[in-house]
Amino acid sequence: MNRKTKLKFAKFAVKIFFSVMLLLLVLHFLSPAVFSTEAFEFETYVKMFGRGNTVIHLPPLGKITAQTHLPPIDLHFTLNIINLQELTALFNNSSFGNNWPSFLGEQIKECLFRYLASLLILAFFLGVAGSLLWSRKSVNKKEMGILGLINVLVVIVLVLSVAGFYNFGAFTHVEYQGIIEAAPLVLGVLEEGIDVVDNLGVQVEGAVENISILKEEMEMTDDIKENSVKVLHVSDIHNNPAALKFIRSIVETFQVDLIIDTGDLVDYGTVFEAELFTDFFSNLHLPYVFIPGNHDSPQVVAYLKELKNVTVLEEGTAEVAGLTIAAVADPSSYSSEMVEVEEEIMLQAAEKLARIVEDGSPVDIVATHNPDAFAYVRGNGRLLLCGHTHTPQITGNEEYIEINAGTTGASGLRGLKDMDLTFSLSLLSFQRQEESDVLSLYAADMIKINHAPLNYSLERVLFDLQPE
C-alpha cells in the first residue's frame, strides 16, 4: 500500500470516526419519543456513556433504576398517562381474558421496534450529513452511502449488545429514588395485610353501630336537638379504602350535613389514587369541603375541583350549610414534590390565614392541614380544625377550640406496616340560636376505632351556648 493510498484510507477512517461520534452525540441529546399502547402512554430515550442502567420514571413518584446490561448505555422510560377508562374497557373485554400481560407486552414491543426503525433511519442520514460536512469540492455518493450504512451498523451493534447482555433479573435489586422509595414497604404491606384491609370495613361499620347507641345514651339529657347542623371533620385518609366505609357509616348513622376534610386524601399525590374515590364522591349526597394537605399534589387538587359536590378551599372563605369556613392549603400542596416546607414558608401561610380571618366577615370555622398554620389565629373564641400529626385530640381554652381529627385512614400504608390501626374523626354539632340566628358549637365528639383487638371510644366535649 503506497503513501497516497494510506493517506486516503486514514482520511476515510477519520470521517468514519467523526460520523460515529456525531451519531452518538445526537442519540445522547435526542428528544424522547412518545408511544401509546392502548391505555398507556410513555416516553423512551437513551443516554450514551452511561452505566448500563434501565431507568423507569414514574412522575411524580420518582424513579426506579436497575443495572441491567454491560454496554455503557442507559435506557430511560417515562410513564406519562394511564387512561383508566381504556384500561377498564380492556379488562372488561371478554376476548382480552387472561392474556393481557402478553397483549400489552406485544404492544410495547411494537412501539420499541418503531423506535428502533426511526433510530436506524436517523443514523443513516447522520452518516450522509457527516460526509457532506467533509466534502467541500464534490459530493461522493458512494462515501455518503458507506458512512450511512456504517452508522446503521453501529446502531444495530449497540442494540444487539444491550439485548444480548440484558438481565431482567436485575429488577429484583433496584434503586428507588423519590417518593417511590416506599415501594418495598407497599409491596410487603399488601402481601401481609391485604386480608386485614378486606375485614377492616366490616369491623368499622360494626363499631359505628355501637358508638351510635352510646351517643344516643349520652344525648338523652340534652335538650338541644332541633335546628342543629352536624359537621363531620375527617383528615389524613391516605388512600385507605376502609376509611370510606367509616365515613359513610358515620354519615348515615348520625345524619351529617357537611364534611370538612383537612387534607392528605391520597398518599403519593397521583391522580390515579384520587380516581379511586370517584364512586365514593358520586354517591355522597352532601357537601364536601376539602383543604389540601402536603400529600395532595396540584394534579390531585385539580381533579377534585372537577367533582360536583366537592368544594376545594385552597385560600379564602366559603359558606356551606350555613357555616362560613376560612382556610389555607398546606404550602406543599402547590408542588408535586410533596416535601415538608421550611418553617419560614409555613409562617407565611399562617400570616395569610390570619389576614383571611381578620380582614373579612366573621367566620365560624378556621381550617388547615398543618396546625403550625394556626400560629396567629389562636384566640377570639375561634374554632380551629386541622390534621397532619395523626394525633386525635380536642384542645384549647376560653380563647379558642382546636380539634385535630387525627387520621381517618389509620395512617394509610404506614399504619398497616406496624398494624397500629387507629381510625379517628370528629363529629361537631352546631345549634342555631333563635335570638341571633347564629350557629354555635355545642358539642364535639372525638370518635376512635382501634383494630387488633377491636375497641372503640367516644370522647365528648360540651360547650355553653351563650346568646349574643
61, 270 Cβ separation under 8 angstroms: yes
Category of 452 on φ-ψ map: left (φ > 0), alpha (ψ -120 to 50) or beta: left
d(CA 263, CA 135): 66
Highest mean pLDDT out of 18-32, 73-87, 126-140, 412-426: 18-32
d(CA 386, CA 374): 9
Confidence of residue 360 (pLDDT cuts 50, 70, 90): confident
Q: Where in the chain is the domain with CATH 3.60.21.10?
A: 196-462
Please state, as a whole number, how many other Cβ atoms lie within 10 Å of the Cβ of residue 41. 15
Instruction: List, in order, residues 6 or more apart from 49 with CB less than 8 Å away.
Output: 24, 28, 72
pLDDT score at 184: 53
Model confidence pLDDT, tens digit, residues 191-203: 444 444 455 555 5
Model confidence pLDDT, tens digit, residues 151-180: 899 889 988 888 888 887 787 777 777 655
Using the predicted structure, report yes or no on whether residue 54 has a pLDDT greater than 60. yes
In percent, the amount of the chain with pLDDT more than 90 equals: 28
pLDDT score at 102: 59
In percent, the amount of the chain with pLDDT more than 70 equals: 76
Phi, psi of 244 (to 5 degrees): -65, -40
Residue (of 57, 36, 64, 29) closest to 336 by Cα position: 57
Looking at the structure, give the CATH architecture of the domain made up of residues 196-462. 4-Layer Sandwich (3.60)
Higher-scoring residue by pLDDT: 442, 376: 376
Segment 47-66 shows an average pLDDT of 81
Contacts from 441-444 at CB under 8 Å and sequence distance 24+?
441/383, 441/401, 442/224, 442/228, 443/222, 444/394, 444/401, 444/403
C-alpha cell at 1: 500500500
Using the predicted structure, report yes or no on whether residue 239 has a pLDDT greater than 80. yes
Model confidence pLDDT, tens digit, residues 280-308: 998 999 999 999 999 999 999 999 999 98
Residue (of 130, 111, 132) closest to 122 by Cα position: 130
Secondary structure letter of residue 220 according to DSSP: G
394, 401 Cβ separation under 8 angstroms: yes
**β-strand partners of 36:** 41
Highest mean pLDDT out of 57-71, 248-262, 374-388: 374-388
Please state, as a whole number, how many other Cβ atoms lie within 10 Å of the Cβ of residue 21. 11
pTM: 0.65
Q: Where are the alpha helices (DSSP H) in 360-428?
A: 413-418
Q: Residues 285, 254, 259, 236: is their CA dihedral positive or negative?
A: negative
**Cis? peptide before 71, omega within 30° of 0:** no
